[in-house]
Chains A and B, each alone.
Chain A
Amino acid sequence: MKYDVAVVGAGVVGALIARALSRTDLHVVLLEKYNDVAMGTTKANSAIVHGGFDAANGTLKAKLNVRGTELMPQLCETLHVPYRNNGSLVLAFSEEEMQHVHALYERGLKNGVPRLSVLDKSAVLELEPHVSGEVVGALLSETAGIVCPYELTIAAAENAVENGVDFIRNCAVTAIEKAPDGFTLQTTCGAIEAAYIVNAAGIHSDDIARMIGDDSISLVARKGEYYLLDKAYGYLADHTIFQCPNKMGKGVLVTPTVDGNLLIGPSALDVDDKEDVDTTAKGLQFVVEKAKRSVPELNLRGAITSFAGLRAHPTTDDFIIGFSEKSDRFVNVAGIESPGLSAAPAIAEMVYEMLLEKTKASERVDFKPGRKAPVRFRNMTKAEREALIAKNKAYGRVICRCETITEGEILDAIHAPAGARDVDGIKRRTRAGMGRCQGGFCGSKVVEILSRELGVPMNEITKFGGNSKILFEKTK
């Protein structure tokens, strides 16, 4: 198969780029080494749409963050992705830290961040009554928000596929050969030809670049660990609450998620293994101790899960976006560490413009920007629920009781474009298994439904692809 563009990596960056390119008449393929989209850093981060005051003036990070944050609300509305403009606070606990808050304010203004202000103690406590009384002031960023990063990626991939992009999962790029009009990509699912390559392989984007002899990129994997607390603790924070960096390190944040849970983290630890997303007792302990400085009432009894993600830290300290010095058909989108999620819509816009100019492709008239709104039974009114079940009985069967997820929603997740193929895929698309019992009740039912819908035995179903099978052979 010969494509115009192969996008390598279906994280938030790759998926949004593929979607952006699907506005054109270019024939695009999105390649992902795992069994689903959003399996890399995109599924394990703070999920903050940053205001844009943090990055140094004049960097790509600063420019694309501010633009991405501006694009995010509309994009999420179009793609039906949960987003909330909750605003963020950077707390200061001393006069010294207050200096830092003022410096961030100045930097933010230079970066073009709108609606920034510096608050005094009483104003902070009025906004966030559960914040520590030790606070002396804070930076308020009103454009900051929270988003569901994997749902954004799922929606973008789904929409891209609806607009003609091919999505191939379990397809790891292992080597790239130069061909007369482009490249041949050797992958775990065969050879694929493409005139252009977009390298959006996250923490592995340096390895992908090296496949064409471009060794200009050097990434360090830096682990960040989190605790997720039950919705019952969501009341503890409304804004995203950051701390000032100090001698002790960067500080951790406390934030609500779009689903109403509370998230605390991350820790920061450089690691050698780019697949090492194990949580550690030390990291988690660090997170809790630090977070209590902001919100003393925090209590681990409410923890429902913990997880870790890897920052793809570039030694240059800025995003690396542009044609490779080794080939003008190869676009690097590398070193996309924080605020990469916030910037992703702007990164997609930038890569789209670069390739549009380069390829002279034309815009399609029949591009469908939105996706069908997913059914969310739990958020519906009585009348809406009645109408829904009348149309399709599967919405009358509740599978996940903690989150009230119906069989109909699970079927939708499987049969959607670029749909779910494993238990975690269902979980990310529907929230089945994400509640307080963490799949204790519905896990086996989800396995059953996947087995039935995909036409494979239950013991072939995996948690997240590969060898993550759940069941062995039949009992005696």
Chain B
Amino acid sequence: MLQYDLVVVGGGPAGMAAALQAHEDGVEKILVLERADTLGGILEQCIHTGFGLHYFGEELSGPEYAARFSEALYKTNIDVKVDTMVLDISADNVVTAVNNFDGLLTVKAAAVVLAMGCRERPRGALSIAGSRASGIMTAGTAQKYVNIDGYMPGKTVVILGSGDIGLIMARRMTLEGAKVKAVCELMPYSGGLTRNIVQCLEDFGIPLRLSCTVIQTHGKERLEGVTVANVDEHLQPIPGTEEYIPCDTLMLSVGLIPENELSKSAGVALDPVTNGLVVDEYRETSKKGVFACGNVLQVHDLVDYVTEESKLAGAGAAKFIRGEKPAGGTVTTVGENGVRYVVPQRINRATDKDVKLYFRVGRVLENVTLTVTCGEETLISRKKRKMTPGEMEYVTLKASVLEKLPEDAKLVVSTKEA
């Protein structure tokens, strides 16, 4: 069995940043395990620009952003194994992985960082009635076909869901000569970033149909069309609004689910709202010495925040390995009044840094007052013109404020519309 101080599962932006930070903080033996044949994670297929505006102050493509980290990483003594799939993480942090050069690999780790990213919600989860024709795929799969394999997965396209990947693919397919007939979104608002709606749909005249869904697919072999319908306030199709749209491809961009099967096997607690993990300010999970960051923890729309979060996880793992990390985390956080969730869910009062609370709202809010309260006391109050579910928000809690909170304090992040 191999021995490492830190094993990082997943070599996307999250895993790479965590490994680099831990290395900088003096951790000696680090191993990064990645299933794909290169580092970079989902960024490798995101050849559009829009990465790094916050973190590097410049606009990079996905592979360029990833390369900044992978190049740095390969200059260190961090061990990397690509083409290596982690199969299991045991209760005592023994990581089992498999590849076709070492065979079966077992590694005992002092600390583990989980950075497995997320997967796209498939069609079955939506139960759209109709045929089993080819031409129905997630937007991410379509993106891989176009950007990595160099094949067109369709010529006339309807996209269900207005998540960012769907929006990006609407533009990509159009640029490649396909006709994108509509993007249908079940909710009365889009789940994607405003900048993507403008740059990917409006600039190309692609209609975004809100409160609209696909109720049936048609075609025996290749998809031939879909029936769409408007939905009422209970999200149920409204009879009489059905419309048939001929198309050969239906792309789904209906949500991402953190990839936590391994975390479950390791016995780590999940947050039922995010489907991600419950963590403290250093992104330590409910299990000592197991950290998590990136999309496995909460679905991010900006990779810049992934990097920030992952550096915390790397730093936390380094502290843990040195025996300096405060355990527990007795202050808890919750979202109320429109705030769906808050990460981190636990905070150590005696932490050494300011803590950013990340959260998302559950619907579009305008002219809101955002507050963080502890009992009767309002710690932070801020006015916002508009908040949308598609955009992750944060507020910063000063370490000096945290330190004065009572033991077992409960912090409530909530909103109030004017």
A interface residues (Cβ-Cβ under 8 A, vs B): 227-228, 275, 277-281, 283-284, 300, 303-307, 382, 385-386, 389-390, 393-398, 401-402, 404, 407, 436-441, 443-444, 448, 458-459, 462-464, 466-476
Contact = CB atoms under 8 A, between A and B. Distances in A.
A280 B129 contact: yes
A458 B154 CA distance: 14
B129 A397 contact: no
Given A281-B216, A397-B99, A397-B100, A458 B130 contact: no
B122 A476 contact: no
Contacts of A464: 132, 134, 221
Nearest to B96: A382
Contacts of A280: 129
Interface residue range, chain B: 35 or more
B30 to A, nearest CB: 23
Nearest to A448: B149
20 contacts: A279-B129, A303-B124, A306-B124, A385-B103, A386-B103, A394-B100, A398-B87, A398-B98, A404-B87, A436-B119, A437-B120, A439-B122, A439-B141, A444-B144, A458-B149, A467-B221, A467-B222, A468-B221, A470-B135, A475-B151
Interface in B207-224: 215-216, 218, 220-222
B152 A473 contact: yes
B130 A470 contact: no
Given A306-B124, A394-B100, A278 B130 contact: yes
B12 to A, nearest CB: 13
A472 B124 contact: no
Main SS of chain B's interface residues? Answer: mixed
B100 A472 contact: no
B208 to A, nearest CB: 24
B320 to A, nearest CB: 28
B124 A304 contact: yes
A474 B177 CA distance: 12
A66 B98 CA distance: 45
B129 A444 contact: no
Sorted nearest first, the 4 A-B pairs with minimum C-beta distance are A396-B100, A305-B124, A438-B122, A463-B134
B125 A471 contact: no
A75 to B, nearest CB: 29
Contacts of A444: 141, 144-145, 148-149
Contacts, number: 137
Nearest to A472: B152
Contacts of A304: 122, 124-125
A466 B218 CA distance: 16
B74 interface: no
A440 B134 contact: no
B77 interface: no
Given A389-B104, A439-B122, A444-B148, 8 more contacts: A228-B124, A306-B124, A382-B96, A390-B103, A404-B87, A441-B119, A468-B133, A473-B152
B124 A438 contact: yes
B298 to A, nearest CB: 19
A275 B134 contact: no
B122 A401 contact: no
A281 B217 CA distance: 11
B138 interface: yes
Contacts of B101: 393, 396
Interface string B332-352: 000000000000000000000
A475 B103 contact: no
Contacts of B153: 470-472
Given A389-B104, A398-B98, A476-B176, A307 B132 contact: yes
B155 interface: yes
Contacts of A402: 261
B137 interface: yes
